[in-house]
């Protein structure tokens, strides 16, 4: 009986050996996790290695775990393939991202870092960005003078915090992925706005105090209390009256498309109307100079009543070209004659020359 020689080709002819190519996406099982690399068994296609830098943020790298990898180089000199988990996740991720964008789905993301412009996010292996301008009112970093360090501090507090967002813009070609928290709450916010009306009293929390007023979170809707609506008194610095984190009740005085204009002072009676009753036309009263301007000086007659002495009423020789700063000093007290009381416009005119 003759014997037939069996070659290696005969032994392997029934084995499905897949030749890897650059760009292929395949699956494998992690066999070893080391400090700088992860080794993957690709079955009939051999063995591959994933360098640590090619592992995406949050991807599992445990022995025995099945992972999807992309082939960077099918065969290095050492005989194994160079792989990337990050690229594989990214290739699959773009399809998912486009699907979410097209459907305008609301999704939950978690930022892994922040810079002064916003939050850095990785989703489906793709790096994305949530700009400061797209944060909801409750998370927007309201700081005085746009202090960049303080803005960054507030943004860092949002790192690792789940946020509901929509994808605002995406481009695989430009490697662009932009998120918006404002868009995710837009429908809910508009629904809440329709339930509110001018003169309603609402509860809110001060989210930031700045030079011209304060921002308020009213059940997810942004509100603004202008400096002129903080108190019936003249407010020089809003921080003397309210602080971030403070709970307040305020009256709605206007409703914009996505913001409320609020008033704290209208929650109480106007003390001006009570105090002005003490004064009458032609009365001679004593007042303290609180502000000096090119057109005259403002004089405080009582805690809530302020009046104006125009340049033309400063002395017998004065006219509109007089310099009030040469006639008055801040905080000095003088006697004045009341020329007119205009209750409707809350104005009182004084004269220094006719007293």
The better pLDDT of the pair 78, 5 is held by 78
pLDDT of residue 78: 85
246 lies in the same domain as 294: no
For residue 12, name the pLDDT band (cuts at 50, 70, 90): very low
118 lies in the same domain as 176: yes
What is the number of structural domains in the chain?
A: 4
174 lies in the same domain as 109: yes
Which has the closest alpha carbon to 49: 72, 25, 65, 17? 72
Tokens, residue 5: 């020689």
Q: Strand ranges (DSSP E) for 42-194?
A: 47-51, 66-73, 81-84, 107-115, 118-123, 126-131, 162-171, 176-180
| Rounded-to-integer distance, Cα 279 and Cα 350, Å | 12
Render pLDDT for 107-135 as a digit per residue (tens, 0 to 9): 999 999 999 999 999 887 789 999 999 99
Is residue 311 within 8 A of residue 350, CB to CB? The reply is no
Give the pLDDT mean for 154-158: 94
Residue 322: inside a domain: yes
229 lies in the same domain as 296: no
Contacts by residues 39-46 (CB-CB < 8 Å, ≥ 24 positions apart): 40/67, 40/69, 40/83, 42/81, 44/15, 44/16, 44/17, 44/18, 45/17, 45/18, 45/19, 45/20, 45/81, 46/20, 46/79, 46/80, 46/81
Residue 15: inside a domain: no
285 lies in the same domain as 343: yes
Judge if pTM exceeds 0.85: no
Render pLDDT for 246-304 as a digit per residue (tens, 0 to 9): 999 999 999 987 789 999 999 998 898 889 999 999 999 999 999 999 999 999 999 88
pLDDT at 25 over 80: yes
Query: In the chain, what percentage of residues exceed pLDDT 70?
Result: 91
83 lies in the same domain as 115: no
Which residue has 């892994």 as its token pair?
112
Residue 16: inside a domain: no
Give the pLDDT mean for 161-175: 93
pLDDT at 6 over 60: no
Is residue 75 within 8 A of residue 43, CB to CB? The reply is no
Distances from the Cα of 164 to the Cαs of 179, 185, 187, 259, in angstroms? 10, 8, 13, 20
151 lies in the same domain as 203: no
What is Dmax (Cα atoms) for the chain?
142
296 lies in the same domain as 256: no
How many helices (DSSP H) and strands (DSSP E) are in the chain? 6, 20
Q: Is 35 exposed, middle or buried (0-12, 13-18, 19+ CB in 10 A)?
A: exposed
Give the CA angle between residues 138, 139, 143 to the nearest 5°.
Answer: 100
Strand, helix or coil for residue 89: helix
- What is the helix, strand, coil percentage profile of the chain, to 5? 25, 40, 35
pLDDT of residue 93: 83
For residue 345, name the pLDDT band (cuts at 50, 70, 90): confident
pLDDT at 336 over 90: yes
Range of the domain at 163: 104-185
Residue 12: inside a domain: no
| Rounded-to-integer distance, Cα 242 and Cα 225, Å | 11
Residue 14: inside a domain: no
Residue 205: inside a domain: yes
Query: Where among 216, 238, 267 does a domain terminate?
Result: 267
pLDDT of residue 223: 93
The CATH code of the domain that includes 115 is 2.40.50.140
Tokens, residue 2: 């003759």
Tokens, residue 150: 């303080």
pLDDT at 85 over 80: yes
| Phi, psi dihedrals of residue 31, rounded to the nearest 5° | -105, -20
Give the pLDDT mean for 64-74: 90
- Concatenating the DSSP letter of every residue in 332-351 gives -EEEEEEEEEETTTTEEEEE
Residue 7: inside a domain: no
Query: Where among 140, 165, 185 does a domain terminate?
Result: 185
Residue 97: inside a domain: no
Q: How many CB atoms lie within 10 A of CB 14?
A: 6
| Rounded-to-integer distance, Cα 289 and Cα 312, Å | 17
């Amino acid at each position: 009986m003759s014997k037939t020689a069996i070659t290696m080709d005969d032994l392997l002819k029934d084995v499905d050996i897949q030749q890897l190519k650059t760009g292929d996406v395949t699956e494998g099982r992690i066999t070893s996790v080391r400090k700088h690399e992860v080794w993957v068994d690709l079955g009939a296609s051999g063995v591959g290695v994933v360098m640590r830098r090619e592992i995406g943020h949050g991807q599992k790298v445990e022995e025995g775990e099945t992972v999807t990898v992309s082939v960077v180089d099918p065969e290095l000199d050492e005989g194994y393939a160079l792989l990337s988990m990050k690229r594989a996740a990214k290739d699959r991720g773009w399809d998912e991202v486009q699907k979410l964008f097209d459907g305008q789905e609301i999704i939950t993301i978690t930022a892994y870092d922040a810079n002064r412009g916003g939050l850095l996010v990785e989703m489906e292996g793709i790096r994305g960005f949530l700009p400061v301008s797209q944060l909801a009112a409750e998370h927007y970093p309201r700081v005085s003078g746009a202090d960049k360090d303080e803005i960054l501090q507030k943004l860092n507090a949002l790192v690792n915090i789940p946020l509901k967002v929509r994808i605002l813009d995406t481009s695989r070609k430009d490697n662009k992925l932009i998120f918006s928290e404002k868009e995710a709450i837009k429908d809910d916010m508009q629904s809440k706005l329709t339930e509110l009306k001018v003169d309603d009293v609402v509860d809110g929390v001060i989210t930031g105090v700045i030079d011209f007023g304060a921002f308020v979170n009213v059940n997810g809707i942004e509100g603004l209390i202008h400096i002129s609506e903080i108190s019936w008194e003249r407010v020089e610095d809003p921080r003397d009256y309210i602080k971030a984190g403070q709970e307040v009740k305020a009256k709605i005085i206007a409703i914009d498309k996505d913001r409320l204009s609020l008033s704290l002072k209208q929650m109480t009676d106007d003390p001006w109307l009570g105090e002005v009753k003490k004064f009458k036309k032609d009365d001679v009263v004593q007042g303290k100079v609180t502000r000096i301007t090119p057109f005259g000086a403002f004089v405080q007659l009582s805690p809530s009543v302020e009046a104006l002495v125009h340049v033309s009423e400063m002395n017998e020789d004065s006219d509109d070209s007089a310099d009030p700063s040469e006639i008055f000093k801040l905080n000095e007290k003088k006697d004045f004659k009341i020329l007119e009381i205009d209750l409707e416009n809350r104005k009182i005119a004084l004269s220094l020359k006719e007293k």
